[in-house]
């Protein structure tokens, strides 16, 4: 199942050339991921209350086009892999006006306790884990 998140580009997110600085795309991915988790009733604070963190352990990103101040973007997010220990999230950022793909990206995550020790989320919280599995299987 694909999750759609939209946002406008702010002036402070651009560089001297007037385009969005490449580092901001990673923030956009995290922002979309947070809204996605909220949309499936799994906000980050729920994880933290259960002593769980979900660090990024890998990131790949391919820049295909650029965006500038005032552009509106669509971020398409999809959970592509989940096994209770790790998950992978795929993204496409699209310029809403032109329809051009701006970037494609993927983030890899693991589940840890508060001491950053990897855990099997399925064993730690089966109820929340099932939400990820159901989301993954609803494609």
d(CA 50, CA 92): 31
Question: Do residues 59 and 66 make contact, with C-beta atoms less than 8 angstroms apart?
Answer: no
* CB-CB contact of 36 with 77 (8 Å): yes
Catalogue the active-site residues.
Answer: 15
Residues 84, 122 contacting (CB under 8 angstroms)? yes
């Amino acid at each position: 199942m694909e999750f759609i998140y939209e946002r406008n580009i702010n002036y402070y997110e651009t560089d001297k050339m007037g385009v969005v600085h490449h580092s901001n795309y990673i923030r956009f991915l995290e922002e979309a991921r947070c809204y996605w988790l909220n949309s499936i009733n799994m906000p980050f604070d729920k994880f933290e209350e259960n002593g769980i963190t979900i660090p990024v352990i890998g990131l790949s990103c391919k820049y295909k086009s650029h965006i500038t101040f005032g552009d509106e973007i669509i971020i398409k997010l999809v959970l592509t892999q989940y096994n209770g220990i790790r998950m992978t999230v795929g993204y496409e950022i699209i310029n809403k006006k032109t329809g051009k793909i701006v970037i494609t990206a993927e983030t890899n995550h693991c589940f840890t306790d508060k001491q950053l020790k990897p855990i099997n989320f399925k064993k730690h919280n089966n109820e929340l884990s099932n939400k990820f599995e159901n989301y993954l299987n609803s494609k």
